[in-house]
Structure 1
Amino acid sequence: CEPPIHTHAPTLTSGFSYTQSHRYTSSDMIVLLLITELFAVQCAWSQALEQSESARLLGRCMIWVETNQGNTTSDAYTYCSQFIDTINNFFGSISRGPTDEIAENALSEFISRHLNIQPNKKPLLWSGAYVESQVAASRFGPYASLEATLLGYCMDGWDMCLGLSGAQRPPWQHCQLLRQFWSLASQKFASLTSGVVSVLINASRNPILRENSIFENKEVPLLQSGKVKRLDLHLMDPYQIQTSNPCDFQELDKVKRILELKNISLNCKVNTGLASRLACIVDASRPICNRAPTSSYAHLLGNLLPLLLFAYLSGTTLL
């Protein structure tokens, strides 16, 4: 990245006058200095990935390839070196300041080339349940979230923006490029899904879906009619804050309307099966995970068990 160069290469003399019939005022010089400074700042944001960034991306790629494809370390290194080069070439050629954005068509094309769902995986979407979705992808083999794809796994946790201060971390609210990437990647992932799509939603919050929900506004509209047969909503209320069934909440009305238009069936459950297992794996201290009997139930068992034992022994003696 080089600063702007005057095509006539004037020579500076006293009084801000230049040879070759060029004469600049002090105001002109201030403007030129400002332009050069702004250009230098832009160059600072636009640079190849740092060694630590490339090493992190390479390491995550190799872990994914070895785990999901069974490749040897040598083969994984060869493949991932090329894969990370494409990421480096793309993101290293753009400005990565906190407010910078990429041309949407270029970013969409990049994501489309490199984002794939393994055919043996069940697609998993989520809203407010990032940790649980990653546990599902790593502990329950059939599931794959966006972050469990090769591209998603490599990009997950990468700040992406340069020049963030300590006060700007975590970077989600301060890095426009980060939000842009994950928004477009989420849309592409949703458009690739098929069969039965599972969704984990954090229902221990109000509202359970926010107005700017990526799931509701970006992913559901891109589910492909004819490819997706059913949407399984697993609502997690591990803190049991809801007094009524969240499957009936108005926040889900838009989702239901879209699915109806697409002829995609909906199955909604609360704290059952997948949702409860994941909630308790992540944090076993959550109220939903407390399986200990209540005091009254324990008292009843204490009185009932001796009677059952007596009846059993009496029957054995009679025989």
Structure 2
Amino acid sequence: MTTQRPPDQESGPSAGPLLSPRAAAALQADPMDAESCCRRRWRCLLICAALLVVIGAVVAGVLLHVRRQRELAKWRGPGSTTHLAEIVLGRCFAYTQLKRPELRDKDCHQIWNAFKNVFVHKNQCNITEEDYQPLLKLTNQNIPCGKSLFWSKSGNLAHQYTKVQPQLLTLEDTLVGYMVDGLRWCGDEGSSELNSGSCPDWKEDCNNNPNFVFWKTVSKWFAESACGVAQVMLNGSLPEAFSKNSIFGSVEIYNLHPGKVSVLQAWMMHDIEGKSRDSCSSSSINELRSILKQRGINFNCQNDYRPAKLLQCVSHSEHASCSRI
């Protein structure tokens, strides 16, 4: 049996499968349209690729920052205050332009840089008083004689009092204290970043850290600036109103100048609803009196100074002790 071979396909222009009307129209379209379509496709591809690169860079940056903060987080204390730079600069401008316009010529950006340079790129347990001297020079201000108010374990009442008696100044009412009151800050050796994860705790890590050294340094400056009659507000609701381990007991009283400060006037305040555990006749106050006598500074003490007591009674008007004022 002879097998018949299928006829070969014809060659020529009519060869090949039939085209749909849409495909035929596409073949007959203007070549410029096809070129324009290709350009649009390439442009879309380039834009998508660029977006992917940007997104990748952002994600990598975030991951790197998180990793870096984890590497920095090695201390036992809370980390730097969030938005530290913005807060410090904002307070500096508010103080110099509104609260004390006589200081309007202070350069807040220069002050911030001097402050930041103390602890960035530094060993956080090797900060010194000398590191803060450029900051003190930039923030220096005159403290009028007789207007210095020190405090120990009575900060809330002392600050309430200076708000209604603004002629008196606590350390936190000066420019350098006002800018950073209640804030925390630290960096890391070899890094320009703030450490937002943790900062050294002065008890559990080291006391030569940026925060502790700062308050010792500016407290020394504040005491050295006092003249005339200086005031101190103490907390008589504590077993010992005066402690030699406090900033006041270890730094400030030893930096009062006998030639400038004639008297230290103590106000022994007691919590309205608390116990009265210490008074002007207690052993801790006698110790304070002895230290000042050796330094040639006179000392007076008054229990529950009436103007400050009135301030306490504003929120405790019905208390029995307030009815006797």
TM-score of Structure 1 vs Structure 2, range by shorter chain: 0.5 to 0.7
Give distance in 2, aligned partners of 1:286 and 1:88. Answer: 48
Aligned counterparts, 1:44-63, within 5 A? 52-63=83-94
Aligned counterparts, 1:187-198, within 5 A? 187-198=220-231
Give distance in 1, aligned partners of 2:123 and 2:73. Answer: 7
Give distance in 2, aligned partners of 1:286 and 1:113. Answer: 47
Give distance in 2, aligned partners of 1:154 and 1:284. Answer: 31
Give distance in 1, aligned partners of 2:318 and 2:184. Answer: 30
1:91 aligns with 2:132: no
Q: Which runs of 5+ in 2 are unaligned?
A: 1-69, 187-194
Give distance in 1, aligned partners of 2:146 and 2:93. Answer: 20
Give distance in 1, aligned partners of 2:271 and 2:117. Answer: 43
Give distance in 2, aligned partners of 1:43 and 1:150. Answer: 30
The one of 261, 276, 286 aligned to 1:228 = 261
The one of 259, 274, 283 aligned to 1:250 = 283
Q: Which runs of 5+ in 1 are unaligned?
A: 1-39, 294-319
| Deviation string, structure 1 residues 160-217 (Cα, Å, up to 9, x no partner) | 133545xx89x67567422222122212211211111010001111122234122122
TM-score of the superposed pair, with normalisation by structure 2 = 0.63
From the superposition, tell whether residues 185 and 200 of structure 1 become closer, same or farther in structure 2 (CA, over 3 Å).
same
Aligned counterparts, 1:16-165, within 5 A? 41=71, 52-70=83-101, 79-96=107-124, 100-107=125-132, 110-111=135-136, 114-119=139-144, 122-161=147-186, 162-164=195-197
**Aligned residue in 1 for 2:218:** 185
Q: Is 1:229–1:265's contact at 8 Å kept on the other side of the alignment?
A: yes
The percentage of aligned residue pairs carrying the same residue is 24
Q: CA deviation at 1:289?
A: 5.5
| Deviation string, structure 1 residues 251-296 (Cα, Å, up to 9, x no partner) | 1223211221233221110112233134335x43794763289xxx
Q: Is 1:276–1:288's contact at 8 Å kept on the other side of the alignment?
A: no
Give distance in 1, aligned partners of 2:284 and 2:269. Answer: 15
> What CA RMSD, in Å, does the superposition of the two structures yield over aligned residues?
3.7
Give distance in 1, aligned partners of 2:131 and 2:97. Answer: 30
**Aligned residue in 2 for 1:4:** none
| Deviation string, structure 1 residues 45-96 (Cα, Å, up to 9, x no partner) | 9xxx998211100111112113333379xx67x8322322322333334344
Tell me which moved more, 147-156 or 131-140: 131-140
Greater relative CO, 1 or 2 (CA 8 Å, sep 6+): 2
**Aligned residue in 1 for 2:292:** 259
**Aligned residue in 2 for 1:305:** none
Rg larger in structure: 2
Give distance in 1, aligned partners of 2:234 and 2:122. Answer: 35
Q: CA deviation at 1:250?
A: 0.8
Aligned counterparts, 1:201-220, within 5 A? 201-220=234-253
Give distance in 1, aligned partners of 2:225 and 2:202. Answer: 25
**Could you say which structure has the higher helix fraction?**
1
Q: CA deviation at 1:141?
A: 1.6
Tell me which moved more, 284-293 or 138-147: 284-293
Matched letter for residue 114 of structure 1? T
**Aligned residue in 2 for 1:306:** none
TM-score of the superposed pair, with normalisation by structure 1 = 0.64
Q: Secondary structure at the match of 2:148?
A: strand
Tell me which moved more, 183-192 or 151-160: 183-192
**Aligned residue in 2 for 1:272:** 305
Matched letter for residue 187 of structure 1? K
Give distance in 2, aligned partners of 1:63 and 1:69. Answer: 9
Aligned counterparts, 1:158-173, within 5 A? 158-161=183-186, 162-164=195-197
From the superposition, tell whether residues 247 and 50 of structure 1 become closer, same or farther in structure 2 (CA, over 3 Å).
closer
Give distance in 2, aligned partners of 1:160 and 1:173. Answer: 16
Matched letter for residue 111 of structure 2? F
Q: Is 1:207–1:251's contact at 8 Å kept on the other side of the alignment?
A: yes
From the superposition, tell whether residues 173 and 157 of structure 1 become closer, same or farther in structure 2 (CA, over 3 Å).
farther
Q: Is 1:112–1:188's contact at 8 Å kept on the other side of the alignment?
A: no
Give distance in 2, aligned partners of 1:174 and 1:69. Answer: 38
**Aligned residue in 2 for 1:241:** 275
